[in-house]
Amino acid sequence: MELMLIEIACFTMHEIEPHYNWRHLYIAAEDARSPFYGKEYSEFEFSNAVYDHFIHPQWDHMGSATLYMKLLYTNYSYGYCIIELIGEWNDCLYNDIMYLKRNIADHLIQNGITKYILIGENVLNFHASENDYYQEWFEDIEDGWIAFINFRDHVMVEMGRAYIDYYVAMGGSLNEIAWRATAPNKLFEMINHLMMKRLPA
């Protein structure tokens, strides 16, 4: 059944758009401190794909061949950002975490972002390799945190087997958040509260 769901998701991936209900609050292409500042988008030209399945042109390429993203919201005053992901997270073949860390997180860290909310409901699979970049990311943000929300169960199982949960928070209440119906600052408050409860005193 799980394999069938993944196959169905792949065949309809071109119809899945990044969350757009916050665009009146933030657009990464208009943010001079964003790694996507100045990018122009087409509504009609489908050029990015996960294997042979095209994805919607509003998703952003970060360097990976299989994992794409959208920087949905950034708040520099509170030092957090919200990133939505789509595709296959493949550290084994493509070292996707390297692209996410080097091309996105490093840029945001330089601009004061220390708290990261990654939405993973459209991440279809995960393939592990070394976890050095996860450790580096965790160490680079000092008092910050990285929270994975709404990832698929089988993806979290594979991440747990690779001990990625040493460096990021996932599962439990973080996988039960109705984030689409929540304003970004409210979502941050909810997750920050959960993270404070998880962190050792």
Residue 121, domain extent: 2-198
Place of tokens 């070394």: 130
What average pLDDT does the chain have? 90
Is it the case that residue 6 has pLDDT exceeding 50?
A: no
Residue 46 has a pLDDT of 62
CATH number of the CATH domain containing 16: 3.30.750.24
The b/e string for 178-200 (b: 16+ C-beta within 10 A; e otherwise) is ebeeeebeebbebbbebbeeeee
Q: Are 80 and 113 in contact (CB under 8 A)?
A: yes
Report the alpha-carbon distance of residue 17 to residue 82 in Å, rounded: 16
137-186 confidence digits (pLDDT tens): 999 998 999 999 999 999 999 999 999 999 999 999 999 999 999 999 99
Residue 44 has a pLDDT of 64
Residue 199 has a pLDDT of 59
Q: What is the mean pLDDT of residues 61-78?
A: 97
Residue 200 has a pLDDT of 52
Q: Report the Cα–Cα distance between both ends of the chain, in Å, rounded.
A: 42
Count of structural domains, the chain: 1
Is it the case that residue 191 has pLDDT exceeding 80?
A: yes
Q: What is the mean pLDDT of residues 77-96?
A: 97
Q: What is the mean pLDDT of residues 116-131?
A: 96
pTM over 0.95: no
40-66 confidence digits (pLDDT tens): 887 666 667 777 677 778 899 999 999
Report the alpha-carbon distance of residue 102 to residue 93 in Å, rounded: 17
Lowest mean pLDDT among 7-11, 101-105, 147-151: 7-11
How far, in Å, are 142, 166, 183, 197 from residue 190 at the CA level?
A: 20, 21, 11, 11
Q: What is the mean pLDDT of residues 133-137?
A: 98
Residue 201 has a pLDDT of 43
